[in-house]
Amino acid sequence: MSNRRQVTVLYSENKLQKTISLPASATIATAKKIGSDEILQHLRLQPGVPSDISLDDDCIDFYPAASDNTRVRDLNGQATIVVWPKAAPGSSFTPAPIMDALSSATAELEELRAQRSAEALIKEDKQPKKKQKNKPESSSIRPPDTADEDGSMLAKILSRLTVSETKIAALEHSDADLRERLTIAEKSSAALQEKIDSDAIDDMRLRILVNMGRDKLAVVFGHKNWQEWRASAGSREELYNSALTRLKEDPTGVPPQWANIGDNPSALRTMLFPKRPVQPGDFVVRASTSDSEEPADDP
């Protein structure tokens, strides 16, 4: 068994994701603490996100649900932590720093585009015009200092525009990558659930066949059904030994197909006392028990 356990940490706003590796002996409380620190550092690296963003320690969700002192090695299925940003003091609204950064960059881009269009119109309006009759040539020439000033302003606008477009491209690329990862995770989760459902159906079919077999064997031994046979016996071992002895040493009246089970003691024990299967969705922390303790019989 591996001594490490993979845990997925999701940031709730737009499925920002990070996978961490923890010791299998770590508790859920430890996983929440480490996972929150890791995703917070990852979040602060996103373009335009404020460096003072923090997470709400009271709103950290862990799946599958279990107590904080549960060991991650005892969990079934994918372990996932979901964290949420902390609201500003006095506010009841959950902040969305990544979407705010994207909206801010988009608004700045639109503003800069509008300024560039306005400056282009001003520049075009100040371009030298064709000479008209009876009008001095100097009247259509724009002063050199004004042209230099317009060119400098336009260069600054274009520079700011390039920076904003770069920020938006980085955010859009990050969002596309996260969406792709989320799709892969959802497909993996669906495949795992399908496997769990299939195993549950197989367990159910096996349990039905075993119950039918115990009833038929009870009738062969002269009892009404399995419940009556079990109630009339002493301990589990007494019932098992008596059945094995009858099948091996006194097979009178026992059909051949049942007599063959006497040659396979493990098959006989499994049929008489099958292990109770774990149902999908059950997450049980089992205390260690001694070898002498016996599990409860199935009905």
Tokens of 1: 């068994």
pLDDT along the chain (299 residues), means of 10: 81 74 91 88 80 81 89 89 80 66 75 80 69 51 54 71 81 80 79 72 78 85 87 86 82 75 82 64 37 47
Tokens of 74: 């005892």
63: amino acid identity, one letter:
Y
Residue 105 in any domain: the answer is yes
pTM, rounded to two decimals: 0.35
pLDDT at 41: 86
Question: Are 207 and 268 within one domain?
Answer: yes
Question: Are 257 and 221 within one domain?
Answer: yes
Alpha-carbon gap, residue 236 to 241, rounded angstroms: 9
Question: Are 145 and 220 within one domain?
Answer: no
Residue 298 in any domain: the answer is no
* The last residue of a domain, from among 188, 212, 237: 188
pLDDT at 30: 92
Question: Are 79 and 101 within one domain?
Answer: no
pLDDT at 143: 53
Alpha-carbon gap, residue 186 to 125, rounded angstroms: 57
pLDDT at 257: 75
Q: How many CA atoms within 13 Å lie on the side-chain side of 271?
A: 22
pLDDT at 285: 36
Question: Are 139 and 73 within one domain?
Answer: no
Q: Which of 91, 106, 90, 22 is nearest to 62 (CA)?
A: 22
- Please check whether residue 229 is in contact with residue 271, taking contact to mean a CB–CB distance below 8 angstroms: no
Which of the 8 DSSP states describes residue 45? T
Question: Are 64 and 116 within one domain?
Answer: no
Q: Which of 52, 48, 39, 5 is nearest to 24 (CA)?
A: 5
* The last residue of a domain, from among 162, 188, 214: 188
Tokens of 135: 């009008």
Alpha-carbon gap, residue 250 to 269, rounded angstroms: 18
Residue 299 in any domain: the answer is no
Residue 62 in any domain: the answer is yes
* The last residue of a domain, from among 31, 59, 83: 83
The 3-state DSSP class for residue 285 equals coil
Question: Are 19 and 61 within one domain?
Answer: yes
Residue 286 in any domain: the answer is no
In sign, the C-alpha dihedral spanning 225, 227, 228, 234 is positive
Residue 77 in any domain: the answer is yes
pLDDT at 27: 93
Residue 221 in any domain: the answer is yes
Residue 242 in any domain: the answer is yes
* Domain membership of residue 19 as a residue range: 4-83
Domain count, the chain: 3
The CATH number of the domain holding residue 12 is 3.10.20.90
pLDDT at 39: 85
